Amino acid sequence: MNTFIPEGYKSLLSIYDTQKAISLLKRIFADNLGAKLDLYRVSAPLFVDENSGLNDNLNGYERPVSFDILHADARAEVVQSLAKWKRLALKRYSFWPGKGIYTDMNAIRRDEDELDNLHSVYVDQWDWEKVILPENRNLDYLKLTVMDIVAAICDTQSTMQAIYPQLSSLPRLEKRVSFVTTQQLEDLYPALTPKQRENAWVKEHKTAFIIGIGKTLKSGKKHDGRAPDYDDWDLNGDIMFWDDLLGCAMEISSMGIRVDPASLDRQLTLAGCDDRRALPYHKALLAGELPLTIGGGIGQSRLSMLLLGKAHIGEVQASIWDAETQEICEARGVMLL
């Protein structure tokens, strides 16, 4: 998807009201999320030691931003997500099953494939993680958690539209979640690309959870990449909403039940990442020393786009854009923050 501004688009809110609304939206949703999932807000790192194994490898080719620390004899990496740090934190903080944490995560994705309406090199999201019992490691528990998150999003939209009547012209988000696996999508739409399959399904169902990101399908291909050392590929997925303004499925959250020792062992081998077994985090996980958890990230800028009716992510976050994006937005009267 290249950068484009829909014909006749005009922001529903002024710049001043947009800034106020973003701040309010983030507070309301964070409170809703914490209440639905029983989460406590914590502080989180902007960077971690590069030798700790705590940074997210993403798809394996994205280069983290790194730098040396003068007086610590260490080299640090700006986090690409907090998936592993959160799980270690839950152990250190002695959280018990049913309780969890959330935090504001800011990251830099210098190797983002394409800058467009939904993608930026700057990432801001709510990262959350919750301790679970062994019997919770199943699809039913995953689906119940997804429905709680979707309910928190829909409740936030209702509150925002009550405060800002201008937003009432936006379609109400569908609270019912359609669950579908990546293999089912491939079977239904074999001639389409993974992104086209998502668009076809979500356009019809409006709100969906795509299950099974990272695993190899019958075709021998993957729907999308996912690092082998945080989500269980059989128990994860993406929450997506249909965005009428842009005419596409918008991924709001990547989440899942995390790997246990057995699934980590299997996925490291499948991904050709056995070298990670020697890292401190992975050694602890393989030894069964970390709690079983479920967690994910929820995009702050994307949720702001969706609930405020914005056409470009640059309208709700400050980042750096290529010349073409700047020219297109300026020509259509869209102000990039």
- Catalytic residue numbers read 56, 109, 125, 238, 251, 254
Decide: 73 and 79 in contact? Cβ < 8 Å. Answer: no
For residue 26, the SS3 value is helix
Q: What are phi and psi of 91, to 5 degrees?
A: -70, -45
Sign of the alpha-carbon dihedral angle for 194, 196, 199, 204 = negative
HEC per residue, 41-108: ECCCCCEEECCCCCCCCCCCCCCCCEEEECCCCEEEEECCCCHHHHHHHHHHCCCCCCCEEEEEEEEE
Q: Which of 225, 245, 231, 298 is nearest to 39 (CA)?
A: 298
Q: Which of 124, 119, 126, 154 is nearest to 27 (CA)?
A: 126
Element (H, E) at 24: helix 15-37
Amino acid at 63: R
Could you give the CA distance from residue 284 to residue 205 in angstroms, rounded to a whole number?
41
Element (H, E) at 299: strand 293-299
**Torsion angle, CA of 206/212/216/222, rounded to 10 degrees?**
40
How far does CA 297 lie from the centroid of its chain?
A: 4
Beta partners for residue 40, in sequence order: 101
Q: Please give the C-alpha separations between residue 186 and each of 223, 239, 251, in angstroms, as whole numbers.
A: 8, 18, 18
